[in-house]
Chains A and B, each alone.
Chain A
Amino acid sequence: MAQPLVKKDDDRDEEADYSPFLGIEKGAVLQEARVFNDPQLDARRCSQVEATEVFFAVTKLFQSRDIGLRRMVYLMIKEISPSADEVIIVTSSLMKDMNSRTDMYRANAIRVLCRITDGTLLTQIERYLKQAIVDKNPVVASAALVSGIHLLQTNPEIVKRWSNEVQEAVQSRAALVQFHALALLHQVIRESGVNSQTGDRPFYDYLEGCLRHKAEMVIFEAAKAITELSNVSTRELTPAITVLQLFLSSSKPVLRFAAVRTLNKVAMTHPMAVTNCNIDMESLISDQNRSIATLAITTLLKTGNESSVDRLMKQITNFMSDIADEFKIVVVEAIRSLCLKFPLKYRSLMNFLSSILREEGGFEYKKAIVDSIVILIRDIPDAKESGLLHLCEFIEDCEFTYLSTQILHFLGNEGPKTSDPSKYIRYIYNRVILENATVRASAVSTLAKFGAVVDSLKVRDRATLYLNTLGDGSVSETDKYVKEFLFGSLDIPLTNIETSLKNYLEAMVSFVLLEQAQNPTEEPFDISSVPKDVKSQPLAEKKAPGKKQTGLGAPPPAPTSAADAYERLLSAIPEFASFGKLFKSSAPVELTEAETEYAVNVVKHIFDRHVVFQCNCTNTIPEQLLENVTVIVDASEAEEFSEVGTKPIKSLPYDTPAQTFVAFEKPEGVPAVGKFSNMLRFTVKEVDPSTGEAEDDGVEDEYQLEDFEVAAADYILKVGVSNFKNAWESMDPGTERIDEYGLGPRESLTEAVNAVINLLGMQPCEGTEVVPNNSRSHTCLLSGVYIGNVKVLVRLSFGIDGTKEVAMKLAVRSEDENVSDAIHEIVASG
């Protein structure tokens, strides 16, 4: 229904922007539609009225014998795609037309009827369609064959019965009928799952012959097909490259584009095969069509030799200013790989990167440049000093926090190892003063790294304070610890340490700035106070752009032995010994903010008839000793759970994590869900910091904790399968449950995929959790074990449209069809 509503006005207006269809309203169209009932039909007038509301009125038009009008009725029926009960009204007329003596009636009636038909109707008209396929008139035959291709998707079993007729049509003298018949045949074969691929390539000679065909379209298709052959040899490629090279100098932009795009792809795998085209490619850099120019440049960057680099860079510099970011990123990536290929040319390539870094550009583009410079610095030692300075200059005026912090971190690692570290200090120090909190924090860490490594007084001065607070004041002893801390690998999730450090460092920065060196903060930062547990990302969390965690390295995955450790821990507690086998332990869920007085997180242990909440508590106040610590779990919003026991912590001294447990009973084998609100209850005793002794009298106190939920995902184990397809096919198709869901507008396909994976808590298989860039559809495969030891496999098909609306199809197979239903319930209520 894409066309504008149409109404013709006979009076011509002489205005310049006159449009006969301007200002059409639905009401007017409906009014106009009454004309269809007029016994004195004005065919010409009627054929120009169109509206979705007038389907029934339109059907009256079948009474007219006017061919043009009839054609417009066909068009309209196709646009309206009437529902099944409406179809009946027009079928008889269409079936009459399908047997008409007029060829065009037959052809068009077939196309319309096949478009609106359903299975039952199709069996009625199947006989006519088979006749039409072998009709003398090629238009009729093509119409039936093309309709067959469409119907193959909805009613494959019927279309497959037409093979005799289709075979006959393949022999037709009309080229288009041959083409449509072959297309249908090919798809029938694919549908049947016959694998026609063989190891050798019987087609190569045929393809090579097609390179001499008279139609450019065929030549190109053959050349493209040759370049796409798997494991194609250089000798096989040569004739294809030769014809593509000829196309490069064609006067037709489409032909140049097609050729350069194909050669660009070839250059990724066979750069040497394309070098012959370099001269033609260079002339394409100035092509009016910027897509062609970009493709030519990136191809040249892939195939270029060392001597041509400088000339190429000069040409590219002029070119960069007038192309879009998307093209620029492609060029930057190509330059990066070129530089790695020819490290001696780093100077001109690095200069180029730094000059484009100073120009206008969006985040993705700038990130591509920074990433490239970082990689070059790492891989080409000579490029390090100039590269670091370029980065320093960039952060002087960088609007992207994420990039600034990444660069500062990198400077901290690489800068101290250079011959003159002091020249970077000024840039870093400026960041401490001028930036937002995140960048300031990074800058202080970077300064500290310099201070720890560099023997320059100037640097030391700035960093001494920081150092002092890290250790106990004795510099020699601290050094080792500091280095370990700053550069060593940490077994603590970086997200946690980041939050803790950020707050601490902000305080530090103000000290540095006020130069209150004689009075350092009393409380040194203590790495061990940072919770070691991986914080699970809340489902609904929206990541702010520029603050992505990717660059900082993802938290390390929990060791596989965690489950064993939990099992040992729990079985050692007599109260829980009778609960049977532990089914699943969740990742820890934080119940407190990261830098509060008491740090508490919870691990949910699921048993068949019980759940045990293990609350890991840490007391972060040195002046306090906590005793008799329990977590009061209120299950009033989790009706199926009833508390059966708790195990308190007798004593919780400063900075010594300990666990308290709360056990609940739940219905056997049922994935009961619910929300729990929590309170930390304890007796607090003052501790004398000088002696470390606690006072005798304590005070009862409570501390509010965050709520947590037991969700459906807690009842599914992440268990992968090695071959999903085999596993899928070995499951009983009778247990399969399919449905479709609209996920609403999403930031990206990746975000939608992750949300569903997290919701289900299942194991992504075969790397399908990764969505390729710019994909509009994606299939994700999940596997897991549902409580009761039932294997479940899930196939998710996602599609995203231009407005970022995401639709998802969910297919589940499992060993128990009730579990398939349960998975759908999780998604439906998610």
Chain B
Amino acid sequence: MGLLEETGTNKEINKIGSSPPSCEHKCYGCRPCEAIQEACPTIKNILLLDSEGKRVAVKYYSDEWPTNSAKLAFEKSIFTKTQKTNARTEAEITMLENNIIVYKFVQDLHFFVTGGDDENELILATVLQGFFDAVTLLLRNNVEQREALENLDLILLCLDEIVDGGIVLETDGSIIAGKVATHNMDDGAPLSEQLLYEIRIFLAFSAVES
């Protein structure tokens, strides 16, 4: 009948972010099932899109979108859904396909952070803010598409320092930017020195504020 075909492709690698995230009784150690992650806040993806919904930099930590086309479809629907909202002063929030998405727009850049629907919304928002602050620092306040593309390496490193395999590593924007900038210290490039200087200023200010 050809109803089922066997595949050997379902390799069991780290799969984070199950949906539904809690599975109380039916788990007999089966995979794919990542119920054990439920205690730990989990990020499913972080997206940075341009003003047309095209990718600048994206990173998925969940295999909920296994193919590139699934990822693109998700990006398209979330961009369309949020496009007309005003997320420029405060981060906004919405739900899509059992996921919670927090997002923020600056100039022609759209920042998104996605988590499961059991996630603490404020944690997602904190991750978004950390990402946003770090990018602002790394781009020296020129938060716009061209500058982002010019410094794509920094943004990719930034994503890597915020979340590892879905687990939040760090949410403080200045620390994230600091980690990314450290790597470029030996570069001798004027960018890094300037950046470190600005980060020091930023840290001093935030110390004064608190």
> Contacting chain A: which of B132-140, B162-170, B198-206?
B162-170
Q: Are A183 and B66 in contact (CB under 8 A)?
A: no
Q: Are A72 and B64 in contact (CB under 8 A)?
A: no
Partner of B165, one of A1, A21, A150, A217: A150
Partner of B57, one of A3, A540, A808: A3
B207 contacts A by Cβ under 8 Å = no
Q: Are A183 and B39 in contact (CB under 8 A)?
A: yes
Partner of A828, one of B4, B60, B170: B4
A516 contacts B by Cβ under 8 Å = no
B13 contacts A by Cβ under 8 Å = yes
Shortest CB–CB separation between residue A722 and chain B, in angstroms? Answer: 14
- Interface of chain A residues 708 through 750 with chain B (CB within 8 A): 725, 728, 739-744
A740 — which chain B residues lie within 8 A by C-beta? 6-8, 10
Partner of A104, one of B98, B169, B183: B183
Q: Are A809 and B14 in contact (CB under 8 A)?
A: no
Q: Are A253 and B28 in contact (CB under 8 A)?
A: no
Partner of B33, one of A71, A797, A807: A797
B150 — which chain A residues lie within 8 A by C-beta? 8, 20
- Known: A68-B183, A75-B157, A828-B4. Is A795-B120 also a contact (CB below 8 A)? no
In the bound complex, how far is the Cα of B152 from the Cα of A21, in angstroms?
A: 10
A321 contacts B by Cβ under 8 Å = no
In the bound complex, how far is the Cα of B152 from the Cα of A442, in angstroms?
A: 64
A291 contacts B by Cβ under 8 Å = yes
B3 — which chain A residues lie within 8 A by C-beta? 539-540, 743, 755, 759, 830
In the bound complex, how far is the Cα of B182 from the Cα of A70, in angstroms?
A: 12
- Known: A146-B164, A811-B30. Is A251-B4 also a contact (CB below 8 A)? no
Q: Are A802 and B70 in contact (CB under 8 A)?
A: yes
In the bound complex, how far is the Cα of B24 from the Cα of A359, in angstroms?
A: 41
Nearest to A773 among chain B residues (CB) is B98
In the bound complex, how far is the Cα of B53 from the Cα of A738, in angstroms?
A: 42
Nearest to B150 among chain A residues (CB) is A20
A252 contacts B by Cβ under 8 Å = yes
Shortest CB–CB separation between residue A3 and chain B, in angstroms? Answer: 6
B145 — which chain A residues lie within 8 A by C-beta? 19
- Known: A3-B58, A19-B149, A221-B120. Is A187-B39 also a contact (CB below 8 A)? yes
B122 — which chain A residues lie within 8 A by C-beta? 216-217, 220-221, 254-255, 258
Q: Are B1 and A801 in contact (CB under 8 A)?
A: no
Partner of A20, one of B34, B102, B149: B149
Q: Are A253 and B91 in contact (CB under 8 A)?
A: yes
Q: Are A180 and B167 in contact (CB under 8 A)?
A: yes
B9 — which chain A residues lie within 8 A by C-beta? 742
- Interface of chain A residues 353 through 401 with chain B (CB within 8 A): none
A725 — which chain B residues lie within 8 A by C-beta? 25, 28
B126 — which chain A residues lie within 8 A by C-beta? 217
Q: Give 1 or 0 for each of A771-803: 1 = CB within 8 Å of chain B CB.
A: 010111101010000000000000101010111
Of the four ranges (under 10, 10 to 19, 20 to 34, 35 or more), the interface on chain B belongs to: 35 or more
Q: Are A254 and B91 in contact (CB under 8 A)?
A: yes
A159 contacts B by Cβ under 8 Å = no
Q: Are A3 and B156 in contact (CB under 8 A)?
A: yes
B86 contacts A by Cβ under 8 Å = yes
Nearest to A778 among chain B residues (CB) is B26
B1 — which chain A residues lie within 8 A by C-beta? 539-540, 830
Q: Are B90 and A251 in contact (CB under 8 A)?
A: yes
Q: Give 1 or 0 for each of B46-80: 1 = CB within 8 Å of chain A CB.
A: 00000000010111100011111111011000000
Q: Are B165 and A115 in contact (CB under 8 A)?
A: yes
A621 contacts B by Cβ under 8 Å = no
A220 — which chain B residues lie within 8 A by C-beta? 120-122
Q: Are A68 and B85 in contact (CB under 8 A)?
A: no
Shortest CB–CB separation between residue A150 and chain B, in angstroms? Answer: 5
B13 — which chain A residues lie within 8 A by C-beta? 81, 154
Of the four ranges (under 10, 10 to 19, 20 to 34, 35 or more), the interface on chain A belongs to: 35 or more
In the bound complex, how far is the Cα of B123 from the Cα of A150, in angstroms?
A: 20
A683 — which chain B residues lie within 8 A by C-beta? none
A190 contacts B by Cβ under 8 Å = yes
Partner of B120, one of A1, A258, A292, A827: A258
Shortest CB–CB separation between residue B62 and chain A, in angstroms? Answer: 10
Q: Are B32 and A43 in contact (CB under 8 A)?
A: no
Shortest CB–CB separation between residue B113 and chain A, in angstroms? Answer: 11
Q: Are A777 and B164 in contact (CB under 8 A)?
A: no
- Known: A72-B153, A139-B179, A187-B36. Is A2-B59 also a contact (CB below 8 A)? yes
A191 contacts B by Cβ under 8 Å = yes
Partner of A217, one of B57, B86, B93, B123: B123
Q: Give 1 or 0 for each of A223-241: 1 = CB within 8 Å of chain B CB.
A: 0100000000000000000
Q: Are A257 and B121 in contact (CB under 8 A)?
A: yes
B186 contacts A by Cβ under 8 Å = yes
- Interface of chain A residues 30 through 47 with chain B (CB within 8 A): 43-44, 47
Partner of B4, one of A48, A217, A743: A743
Nearest to B172 among chain A residues (CB) is A176
In the bound complex, how far is the Cα of B2 from the Cα of A759, in angstroms?
A: 12
Q: Give 1 or 0 for each of A557-598: 1 = CB within 8 Å of chain B CB.
A: 000000000000000000000000000000000000000000
Q: Are B39 and A67 in contact (CB under 8 A)?
A: no
- Known: A72-B153, A777-B32, A797-B32. Is A741-B40 also a contact (CB below 8 A)? no
A801 — which chain B residues lie within 8 A by C-beta? 64-67, 70
A779 — which chain B residues lie within 8 A by C-beta? 23, 26-27, 30, 33
Q: Are A777 and B19 in contact (CB under 8 A)?
A: yes
- Interface of chain A residues 51 through 85 with chain B (CB within 8 A): 65-68, 70-72, 74-75, 78, 81
Shortest CB–CB separation between residue B203 and chain A, in angstroms? Answer: 17
Q: Are B187 and A43 in contact (CB under 8 A)?
A: yes
Q: Give 1 or 0 for each of B85-128: 1 = CB within 8 Å of chain A CB.
A: 11000111111011000100000000000000000111111100
Q: Are A75 and B23 in contact (CB under 8 A)?
A: no
Shortest CB–CB separation between residue B39 and chain A, in angstroms? Answer: 5
In the bound complex, how far is the Cα of B40 from the Cα of A463, in angstroms?
A: 67
Q: Are B26 and A254 in contact (CB under 8 A)?
A: no
B95 — which chain A residues lie within 8 A by C-beta? 291
Shortest CB–CB separation between residue A98 and chain B, in angstroms? Answer: 16
Q: Are A728 and B28 in contact (CB under 8 A)?
A: yes
- Known: A224-B120, A291-B94. Is A795-B5 also a contact (CB below 8 A)? no
- Interface residues of B, Cβ cutoff 8 Å to A: 1, 3-10, 12-16, 18-20, 23, 25-28, 30-34, 36-37, 39-40, 55, 57-60, 64-71, 73-74, 85-86, 90-95, 97-98, 102, 120-126, 145-146, 149-150, 152-153, 156-157, 160, 164-165, 167, 169-170, 179, 182-187, 189
Given contact pairs A221-B123, A779-B26, enumerate 19 new A-B contacts (beta carbons under 8 Å).
A1-B68, A67-B187, A150-B164, A150-B165, A176-B169, A187-B37, A190-B36, A254-B121, A289-B93, A291-B95, A540-B3, A725-B25, A741-B5, A741-B6, A743-B4, A799-B32, A802-B74, A808-B4, A809-B31
- Interface residues of A, Cβ cutoff 8 Å to B: 1-4, 6, 8, 18-21, 43-44, 47-48, 65-68, 70-72, 74-75, 78, 81, 104, 111, 115, 139, 142-143, 146-147, 149-150, 152-154, 176, 180, 183, 186-187, 190-191, 216-217, 220-221, 224, 251-255, 257-258, 261, 288-289, 291-292, 539-540, 725, 728, 739-744, 755-756, 759, 768, 772, 774-777, 779, 781, 795, 797, 799, 801-803, 805, 807-809, 811, 827-828, 830
18 residue pairs of the A-B complex, CB under 8 angstroms, read A2-B71, A3-B58, A68-B153, A71-B183, A146-B167, A150-B165, A154-B13, A154-B14, A176-B169, A183-B40, A741-B7, A776-B64, A777-B19, A779-B30, A801-B64, A801-B66, A808-B4, A830-B4
A-B CB proximity, top 7 nearest: A258-B121, A742-B7, A802-B70, A217-B122, A254-B125, A740-B10, A779-B26
